[in-house]
Amino acid sequence: MRKNHRRSALFIGLGRTGSEAARRLVALGWDVVGVDKNSAVIRGAQDQLEHVVQLDAGDEDALSTVGVADFDVCIVSRGESIESGILIVLNLQQLGAKRIVAKAASEHHGRILRRLGVEQVVFPERDAGVRLAESLESPHLAQWMQITPEVELAVVRVPKGRQGCTLDTWAATKKPELEILGHLSPEGKVLTFDAYAPLQAGELLIVIGKTADILALGE
């Protein structure tokens, strides 16, 4: 089904998580096909995605019509039940999927998916809740990404209380083990990295280190 050189993705389930990820990949230049069995969902997705197909991915014969093996990655983002998600994964494997990413509703669900050989398991609802809590606790965090259970890469906003501090004194005073990777203006422009230049409120630092240490930078 996919004939060109662009990377391609098949999204199974066009709910909030699936549709947002699909639209973003389209913007990044991917060739995306969205699948959902709900006709109302398909109608809503037609304005956002060029290629959408109404079918039940739990039916292997129906799923085979979209050419599963031709996609670089297949994303299972249907959340109706653990059983339906597992069935879809098995169908994808049977049809020769190159790579499978699947949404899990719980840790138990995630363990099952991993045992089935799913390469990447995501927990969007859990992760969104954790990020919300952390943003409320630490409003200085602009963006962040978990690298390991204890280490994160983060974009940290310099709080007003630290205005005038230098890079070396602010980050090293309490948390010398944090590594600063970059320095940005409040608008996101890359600034010359100068450990002794005074920081301005609202400037951004790209840092990597333990989650607890990054959260404490706002104190």
CATH code at position 157: 3.30.70.1450
Torsion of CA 26, 27, 30, 36, to 10 degrees: -20
Contact 78, 63 (CB under 8 A): no
Residue 3 has pLDDT above 50, yes or no: no
Q: What is the mean pLDDT of residues 41-64?
A: 91
- Least Cα distance to 94 among 110, 111, 117, 112 occurs for 117
**Same domain for 54 and 77:** yes
pLDDT tens across 182-195, in order? 888 888 888 887 87
Among 107, 122, 137, the domain boundary falls at 122
* Residue 149 lies inside a defined structural domain of this protein: yes
Q: What is the mean pLDDT of residues 200-204?
A: 86
